[in-house]
Amino acid sequence: MITPTSAEERAATTEVNGGRPTVDFDQATPYDDYVGTAVLHDLQRTMTGEPEELAFLVTTQVMELYFGLLRSEWLLVRRLLDDDDLPGATAALRRSVRHFEALNASWASLSWMTPAQFNGFRDALGEASGFQSAMYRHVEFLLGLKSAVQLRPYRRAPKIYAGLQEALAAPSLYDAVLAHLSRRGFAVPAEVLERDLTEEYRPRDAVEAVWVEVYGSADTALRELAEAMMDVAVQFSDWKYRHVVAVRRSMGAKPGSGGSNGLKWLEQSMRRDIFPELWTARTFM
């Protein structure tokens, strides 16, 4: 059980221990209680005896945890933008970029996998596929990559399905940023602000012009927000690229486990940019 302690109590314990760590506890260590290490390490239940499968499973679980962390950060960003707290939103966005860098770095744990090694346990996974990750779907929806069809795999999981329905209908990060710019007096078209949020965002020349105006203005805070958004977009592009490379290396162009055509499907998804006018506006700056 975790018992909160004060700075004074920690100093007193250090003096009693003579500067050495505490080694006697009534039950489990506070660290194990807080982190839930017993639960975490019990979650690695491989389907085969192939040594490579554990690396695949652990890396996938780490990615899932980072998806959840990114979702939490971006929900906070959206709330801060709704409150017009620009410094707070930008700080949270920048923090999320560091999380995204760590997420992308996790691909290194799978970059060595050959087709023979992947094939050693792939059949045992059945139809399990990363495409079915509900938390990753939350991430995509928050980035504006909306699709009602992608809710269908979760219809028989009511809690997950309801959460994704809510996420589909909610504003994306980009929607929240554009609404903030509108409140600041920028000419964001009404058709953008009032559009059906369940549909994937479609780029518009008028929004591109808004970003050109933002970058040409004297408002440093807005430019910093825009660059933080670009950092997120770059990390997402890196995520998709590393995913494609990992698949090409471990399975080539074989059909995907979840029913797709595998590599071709991933390569098509790479073409879906987030925050599109932030990219194209650079031509006119």
Please give the annotated binding residues, written as ranges.
Answer: 122, 243
To the nearest 10 degrees (0 to 180), the angle between helices 220-251 and 86-105 is 20
Contact 251, 118 (CB under 8 A): yes
Please give the annotated binding residues for substrate, written as ranges.
Answer: 122
What is the residue whose two structure tokens read 């809710």? 151
Listed in sequence order, the DSSP H helices in 83-189 are 86-105, 115-122, 134-142, 158-169, 173-183
Instruction: Please state the separation of Cα 30 from the chain's center in Å.
Output: 29
- Phi-psi region at 93: left, alpha or beta (left = phi > 0; alpha = psi -120 to 50): alpha
Q: What is the DSSP string of 122-151?
A: HGGGTT--GGG-HHHHHHHHHTT---GGGG
Distances (CA, A) of 172 to 62, 139, 181: 24, 10, 14
Please give the annotated binding residues for heme, written as ranges.
Answer: 243
C-alpha span between 62 and 42 (Å, rounded): 14
